[in-house]
Chain A
Amino acid sequence: MTIAVLFITLFGCMLIGMPIAIALGLSSVTTILLFSNDSLASISLKLFEATSEHYTLLAIPFFILSSSFLSTGGVAKRLINFAVDTVGHIRGGLAMASVMACMLFAAVSGSSPATVAAIGTICIAGMVRSGYPQSFAAGVIANAGTLGILIPPSIVMLVYAAATEVSASRMFMAGFIPGLMMGLILMIAIYIVARVKGLPSQPFPGFKALAKSGLIALGGLMLIIIVLGSIYGGVASPTEAAAVAAVYGYFIAVMGYRDIGPMKGIPWQKSGENIISAAVRNVVQMIIAIPKSVSDPEVRKVLLDASKVSMMLLFIIANAMLFAHVLTTERIPHTIAEQIIAWGLPAWGFLIVVNILLLIAGNFMEPSAILLIMAPILFPIAMKLGIDPIHLGIIMVVNMEIGMLTPPVGLNLFVTAGITGQNMIWVIKACLPWLCLLLGFLMLITYVPQISLFLPEYIDQLNGY
């Protein structure tokens, strides 16, 4: 009865188009008022606790901020140049470079649709010009763009960590190999197609050019080094690393790349300027740029965009914690788990059910919302069946990736349609072969837990735990 009321009000509220946060909160409050004697005051206390007692959650706004500083077209351009210089000379190289650029952009940004937009705009047009079919180019990018949430840092992983109290740093480590693997699988598939269809390659630019574009890209890529390095090299917790990343993101975007903000367009070295006077000029200008940033419209826009997304996510999370609270006090996952065990469903069978559930949910909802509703239910059941919490997390993330490519709600599909100017049916068809690849990859991730668990466990071993 309690289960029915909770879920019927939740889905009812969501179906009539209420904000997900409020649908979660309202269904929880209704259930509490009907079935327990908790007061509204203590429910409000619980909500306040959810917004003010979770230090680890703060990594979310900080990463969103750092990623909005670096999710600019300028950063995308630099990463693409580096990728083209690296793998462009292989057969099908431009497509491979696009995948690599997506992976690199994924590493600095947490957002999949942003990856598709930033890399796709340049690369799809570039590939078409070099003689690739447009549908091939679009399909590759839409798929590689989903890596944004699998390659760390990833907001979706932080949300999973928040919902299940699994360590965010371990999740980040666990996503690394699957992310690289997926990228590699895509590249191999591209190579095969390129051989069959006789797709072109680019001239190799030489090591000097490669080193130069690599160095330029490094400014943005340092972010992931800072984040993972500081978590594992012993400087900071994920929250602190995220704050450092946000500050770094500001400096690299405003002072380093100068794509946005008060130093936009100011060159590092003017023609004919000697190095010393250029250095002095740059230092002075950078110092002046810090106070100037406060009133700079572009910097303020980045801040506001990050604020909107972070606030929205944290508000959902706060309400989802009320929802999870109802789930635990009413022992709902426990009841479901006992039922499942009574049926004798094995772990592998349960994982099939998980995948199907998540794939269906992925058709209609955004990744964070799905995780916040599903994780508190699935997690305790998985624990009872002996599934590793990190492994479950990666399975969920890969499912979320696929959800971005399935209609009617598929963020990457929308963006791909937008940048190619094609209709949705065309985009879906273009993505389909690559989507099948991704489904195969999901199977691999689901039934070979070592892919996800190898790195976190190896790091533990290195430290001797």
Chain B
Amino acid sequence: MVRNLITKLEEGFLSVLLVSMTLLVFAEVIARFGFNAGIHWAQEVTLLLAAWFVLFGASYGVKVGAHIGVDVFVKLLPQNTHRFITLVAVGLCLVYCGLFLYGSWIYLSKMKMIGIELEDLPIPKWIPMSILVIGFVLLIIRFLQLGWKVVTNQADGFHFADEAEESMEIAKGLKETVLGEDQPQKAAKEGDK
């Protein structure tokens, strides 16, 4: 229940970030051509949204297996060896997160101490930059969870994204609709323009 809610929140937030970036850039184009005007803060905000999108999204990606990696070799190993290697890999991921979390913390503290604002908006710079720390904390949580799953034998690898598998969804949908009713020719009738 709670887990479901958190997933919904994460997914909602990520989608909102992507949509707002897109619409902001779109709005800039419209403003320039439709109204001969600029949105002077648009670029800075878009870029900060992008930083949030990536650094927030990375941990969600670990959770749902959206990252990519090379797992053809480890998959050839016997299951227990595979799990052991995965634990080592998760450990190294945690080292990565730890190093960046430490570095981000120092960077952020320095920015807060100096107290400069964003270029175009009267907001202290450290506030949008805090996603560095937030992002790595979230990433650490997700890797710890993954590690626990491997230890308790609920997972043996990172479960990477598979573009081939995702593409098969399109194929599945098509098989249900088109091949059920046959004849691609018919499709032309449904969708007129």
Contact = CB atoms under 8 A, between A and B. Distances in A.
On whether the two chains bind one another, the answer is yes
A41 B106 CA distance: 6
A247 B174 contact: no
Given A40-B102, A72-B170, A120-B171, A257 B191 contact: yes
Contact of A40 (B21, B48, B106): B106
B68 interface: yes
A409 B72 contact: yes
B50 A52 contact: yes
Contact of B188 (A29, A117, A216): A216
B144 interface: no
Interface string A1-40: 0000000000001111111111101100100010000011
Interface string B23-62: 1011011000100000000010011101101110110111
Given A48-B129, A258-B191, A314-B50, A240 B171 contact: no
B145 interface: no
A55 B174 contact: no
A44 B25 CA distance: 27
A303 B99 CA distance: 32
B104 A44 contact: yes
B164 A414 contact: yes
B122 interface: no
Contact of A121 (B51, B103, B170): B170
A47 B50 CA distance: 13
A203 to B, nearest CB: 11
B69, B72, B161, B178: residue with the most chain A Cβ atoms closer than 10 Å: B69
A240 B53 CA distance: 18
Majority-rule SS of A interface residues: helix
Contacts of A33: 99
A51 B188 contact: no
Contacts of A441: none
A18 B92 CA distance: 8
Chain B interface residue number, banded: 35 or more
B69 A18 contact: yes
A239 B22 CA distance: 10
A418 B187 CA distance: 23
Contact of A21 (B51, B67, B72, B171): B67
B158 A419 contact: no
B29 A240 contact: yes
A51, A300, A414: residue with the most chain B Cβ atoms closer than 10 Å: A51
B173 A73 contact: yes
A218 B93 CA distance: 47
Contact of B193 (A14, A121, A218): A218
A55 B49 CA distance: 11
B70 interface: yes
Given A73-B174, A111-B163, A78 B191 contact: yes
A364 B70 CA distance: 7
Interface string B160-193: 1111111111110111011100001101100111
B120 interface: no
Contacts of B193: 215-216, 218-219, 256, 268
B188 A213 contact: yes
B61 to A, nearest CB: 6
A172 B27 CA distance: 24
A54, A61, A269, A369: residue with the most chain B Cβ atoms closer than 10 Å: A61
A301 B145 CA distance: 25
Interface string B2-24: 00000000010011011101110
B168 A243 contact: no
Interface in A104-135: 111, 113-114, 116-118, 120-122, 125-126
B171 A117 contact: yes
Contacts of B104: 41, 44, 48
Interface string A45-89: 101100111110110011001000001111011101100100000
B148 to A, nearest CB: 18
Interface in B123-166: 129, 132, 157-158, 160-166
B157 A17 contact: yes
Nearest to A367: B163
A307 B12 CA distance: 10
B100 A43 contact: yes
B187 A81 contact: yes
A394 interface: no
A16 B29 contact: no
Contacts of B121: none
A218 B188 CA distance: 13
Contacts of A17: 69-71, 73-74, 85-86, 89, 157-158
Given A76-B174, A120-B171, A314-B54, A58 B21 contact: yes
Interface in B92-125: 92-93, 95-96, 99-100, 102-104, 106-107, 110
Contacts of B25: 58, 62, 239-240, 243
Contacts of B171: 117-118, 120-121, 415, 418-419
A426 to B, nearest CB: 16
22 contacts: A15-B74, A17-B89, A25-B96, A26-B93, A29-B100, A41-B106, A51-B54, A52-B48, A52-B50, A55-B46, A61-B50, A77-B191, A80-B184, A117-B174, A118-B167, A118-B174, A121-B170, A121-B179, A218-B193, A246-B22, A256-B193, A364-B72
Given A22-B96, A52-B50, A80-B187, 11 more contacts: A43-B99, A53-B47, A58-B47, A61-B18, A80-B184, A122-B184, A235-B29, A236-B29, A314-B50, A315-B58, A418-B171
Which 9 A-B residue pairings sit nearest by Cβ, starting from the closest? Answer: A40-B103, A311-B57, A414-B164, A44-B103, A243-B25, A52-B51, A117-B167, A77-B187, A19-B67
